[in-house]
Chain A
Amino acid sequence: MKILVCIKQVPQKDTPLKLNEYGTWIREDVSYEVNEPDAFALEEALRQKEKHGGEVVAITAGPARSQQVLREALAKGADRAIHLEDNAFVGLDAFNTARAFAAAIKDEQFDLIFTGLQSDDYGYAQTGVILAELLGWPHATIIMQIEKTDAGIRVKRELEAGYFQFVDIPLPAVLTIQSGINKLRYATLIGIKQAKNKPMRKVSFDDVKGAVTGNLQKIERLYIPEKTKNTEYMEGTPSEIAKKLVDKLRNEVHVL
């Protein structure tokens, strides 16, 4: 099976974020990492390839720094990578990101496209499904298991409240992968070495400009959430804090 994995670079989880001077986006001088659900998507693609053969290709859109997520994918076992490299890709909405991806892979023939179920920065949870619609492929979201069948694949979808459902899907198809579907591997030293020689195709903004329109939605303002609760901060040494908390548990929360 030939599988494309869409990977996004996002700010690191614990990194403190600051707003830019216009209050429209974050200041980008922070540390970045692979969007966690995308790491599970990559791992699943590698496992499918190990079972059934084929090829795993990683794709991302973003400035030069985002090449790091492709390097990591190659080090873990992806065969090649596609980098839509430009700062302009950062501000695209889900619709246009999907359009750019569709344009970048128009000469390729994948059986499956994986994305993480959502990104840790925008959190749209849409790019994969939009890509499926643009390509005219079927899709399924929040996937916890993938089995190859004679007619295509059978996937296990996670539903709400502890429910699941198996769905049979013909190929090609797009799947959005749930975190926890598998156990992530680490890149090996040999993998990291080999990654340097694996092909990386660069796609410029100009190359896909014809496919990208103006954004369909716009972030007017980004801000620290308005507090709705009156939070009381407990301060002091650990034992002082412990005493204060117990006082609250007894006299305010009434659980002691």
Chain B
Amino acid sequence: MPDTILAILEQRQGKLSRVSWETLAASQAICAETGWTLEAAVIGNSIGNLATEVAGKKVSKVYAVESSKLEPYTPDAFVAALKQVLQSKQPKLVLLPHTYQVRDFIPKLATAMKSTVISDCVGYKKDGDKLVFTRQMFQGKFSADVSFTCEAPWFVTFQNGAFRGDKLEAGTSAAPVETINVEVADDIVRTKPQEIFKEAKQAVDLTQAEIIVSVGRGIKEQKNIEIAKQLAEALGGELAASRPICDSGWLPMDRQVGSSGQTVAPKLYLALGISGAIQHVVGMKAARTIIAINKDSEAPIFEIADYAVVGNLFDIVPPLIEEIKKARG
């Protein structure tokens, strides 16, 4: 029997997230190369319709993992439920999207299964019989090819945007859906989650901005934000920032771009003094054009920049503002 990949997809409020479809597309690609069988799982309470939706894709089987204890999410219930699924279905490789929820439970599940997670991967390679997974390290300065040295099941999580969801193949006929009613004992769940809420209404919707000027640590001091603001105004764009700037209170949290902030795809993203740590890049790499100004020639932001300026932003930005004003007349 060929080995099996199990793709565990994340649903929230009855919808599968985009990165879940990307993970399923990645799983299809790995199966095409290895000849392994692809199965998928959706977890929650009354998620049969989502399982049916997944069954329309090119997969050999879909599991609807059901229990009233799985809603709302807790790591204890998820691990208890998935442990039962993995022990009975015995997949070799378990693939998941690298979301905050998955980050919360997957190291616990892997440890409970005496295994490990290669987390936040952006790709994979088949090296002879060996599968290696590529992940970024040192804030994106290096890539690492990582392999498993333990017994299966192996766990891998994929970064948002690492694979293209539009490459997902539909099935020729609907795959069978198997409902697994898992038992989660009452005393297993130790944490009590409250309702999910959104802090103060987002004042700025960066996702709609055509032009974004974004600042990172390289701006050095709060008073220097002004120069970036002037550049944004000259371009008719929005001002944004990487996390450390918002953490310092130099700009409000609703201007933050990255995994914990907004995900943007403007026509132009101008990065000032941003090094390009993974957590920031996942939020802006879909920009059509990226201009990066940074004094560190090895800053990872240059890997994804269309136009790069290695230099001091305080030297470059003032004449740039002047030239833009001239061009605008």
Contacts and interface: CB of A to CB of B under 8 A. Distances in A.
Interface string B129-149: 000100111111111111111
A231 B191 contact: no
Given A13-B275, A167-B192, A234-B309, A217 B316 contact: no
Interface string B295-324: 010101011111111110001101110111
B196 interface: yes
A158 B194 contact: no
Give the interface centre of B147, B192, B210, B296 by most chain A CB atoms within 10 Å.
B192
Given A141-B103, A163-B196, A179-B244, A222 B143 contact: yes
A141 B145 contact: no
Interface string A190-211: 0000000000000000000000
B291 interface: yes
A158 B253 CA distance: 13
Q: In the complex, which range does the number of interface residues on chain A fall in?
A: 35 or more
A254 B210 CA distance: 11
A159 B198 CA distance: 9
A163 B197 contact: yes
A130 B117 CA distance: 11
A225 B303 contact: yes
Contact of A256 (B119, B149, B327): B327
Contacts of A165: 193-197
A225 B136 contact: yes
B275 A226 contact: no
Interface string A213-242: 011111111111111111111100011011
Interface in B143-163: 143-150
Give the interface centre of B135, B149, B319 by most chain A CB atoms within 10 Å.
B319
B143 A164 contact: no
Given A126-B119, A222-B142, A231-B308, A138 B243 contact: no
Contacts of A218: 146-149
B69 to A, nearest CB: 15
27 contacts: A13-B275, A17-B141, A17-B298, A26-B142, A124-B119, A125-B103, A129-B104, A130-B107, A141-B104, A142-B260, A168-B194, A169-B192, A178-B260, A179-B244, A180-B246, A180-B247, A222-B137, A223-B145, A225-B143, A231-B306, A232-B307, A233-B307, A234-B307, A234-B309, A242-B319, A248-B291, A255-B211
Interface of B: 75-76, 99-101, 103-105, 107-108, 110-112, 115-120, 127, 132, 135-150, 190-199, 202, 210-211, 217, 235, 243-244, 246-247, 254, 259-263, 267-268, 275, 277-278, 288-289, 291, 296, 298, 300, 302-311, 315-316, 318-320, 322-324, 326-328
The 9 residue pairs across chains A and B that have the minimum distance between CB atoms: A180-B247, A216-B116, A242-B319, A129-B107, A126-B107, A216-B150, A168-B192, A138-B190, A166-B194
